[in-house]
Amino acid sequence: MKILHFYKTFAADQHGGVEMFIRHLTHATSKQGCENVVLSLAKESSSSTQELDYDLVQAKENFNLASTGISFSAFKVFARLAKSADIVHYHFPWPFMDLVHFATRSKKPSVVTYHSDIVRQKFLKSVYSPLQSAFLKSVDAIVATSPNYLESSPVLAGYRDKSTAIPIGLEQSMYPESDAGEVAKLRERYGRFFLFVGVLRYYKGLEFLLRAIEGTEWPLLVVGAGPLEQELMQMAADKQLHNVHFIGQVSEQEKVNLLEASYAVVFPSHLRSEAFGISLLEAAMFGKPMICSEIGTGTSYINKHQVSGLVVPPRDALAMRLAMSTLWESPSLATRYGQAARERYLQVFTSRSMGEAYVQLYAELLNR
């Protein structure tokens, strides 16, 4: 089967959640006989590269409006690639993608991975809503990234007849091995420490995490960069949180070392913009106990309360502090949760199981 994936951004140096998902999905499906082409936009110029698991074609982005990339040439490129594809796989949300879908009048079977509701852009959402409805009505299948999101999304409630849930899975072999020497250095420098990994955005809830850790001596390492980096660093300085360390952006090797060295992973996202939480899934893959908030998305599907970690109400710094204290004061409990997290990853969240589910869905669409 030939699969055409369409998403606004995709490149070797991009590690956002959707980009990581596409990378792991194409790896899994290529092993099961799929030929994958990924079409995305590039700010510089059009290009085409061949990777082991996919061919990447990039159309030049002409301008960007409200995080929505627009490309005049993408219509022609998409139409050409869709002709030779068996399945078109869209990655939602991206309003320009909907326009391309209708303008090119592709008749190929289509599947949409529904990564997130539109949460923050209220005006854009109201303007886009008719196009969104028409697009979701026109595609053949819709896939949510967790049962939790499928059940809680008000948008998907209108398309239950063609919606299903396939959890995101990760391929551990695509990650570097941890460096034992560097892991030892991290543990020597910080001792036991809590870890956060992610882009520092408005929905990550880090202000509540900083309030939770205020007045404690628990080391917290914040890994990642983003729009709120300076604001959060200033907040930590104002509160004299000397136990909070902002590490900044790191390489994949450094991230693996940090995950291996950490005591537990804290993921305080408090808004539904956090639709899944791949960083949380990476923690489970490395067998780490987790703390997250209940926001009705994939975070509390990855992290089962009192099984693989603790789930607390969103925006609740006190509840977050109590959960962190529970893990800190009971290493045996933390170890048990970490082992359960690893087992859950192996049972539910491998790229192989994800790939098998998508290949089965592709085949069903072709056989209709």
271-284 residue pLDDT tens: 998 999 999 999 99
Q: What is the pLDDT of residue 125?
A: 72
261-307 residue pLDDT tens: 999 999 999 999 899 999 999 999 999 999 999 999 999 999 999 99
- Residue 350: strand pairing partners: 170
Q: What is the pLDDT of residue 14?
A: 67
Query: 173-348: which CATH architecture?
Result: 3-Layer(aba) Sandwich (3.40)
Residue range(s) in the chain whose domain bears CATH number 3.40.50.2000: 2-171+350-367, 173-348
* Residue 123 confidence class, pLDDT cut points 50, 70, 90: low
Q: What is the pLDDT of residue 58?
A: 96
How many CB atoms lie under 10 A from the CB of residue 326?
16
Q: What is the pLDDT of residue 126?
A: 78
Mean pLDDT across the stretch 319-334?
98
Residue 233 has pLDDT above 90, yes or no: yes
Q: What is the pLDDT of residue 12?
A: 67
> In terms of pTM, does the model score above 0.85?
yes
Of 36, 75, 80, the residue nearest 56 (C-alpha): 36
CA 90, 92, 97, 99 torsion: positive or negative? positive
Mean pLDDT across the stretch 196-221?
97
Residue 105 has pLDDT above 70, yes or no: yes
332-356 residue pLDDT tens: 999 999 999 999 999 999 999 999 9
Supply the CATH classification number for the domain 2-171+350-367.
Answer: 3.40.50.2000
Mean pLDDT across the stretch 39-56?
91
Q: What is the pLDDT of residue 65?
A: 84
* Residue 17 confidence class, pLDDT cut points 50, 70, 90: confident
Please give the mean pLDDT across all residues of the chain: 95
Residue scoring higher pLDDT (219 or 66)? 219
Residue 118 has pLDDT above 70, yes or no: yes
Q: What is the pLDDT of residue 11?
A: 76
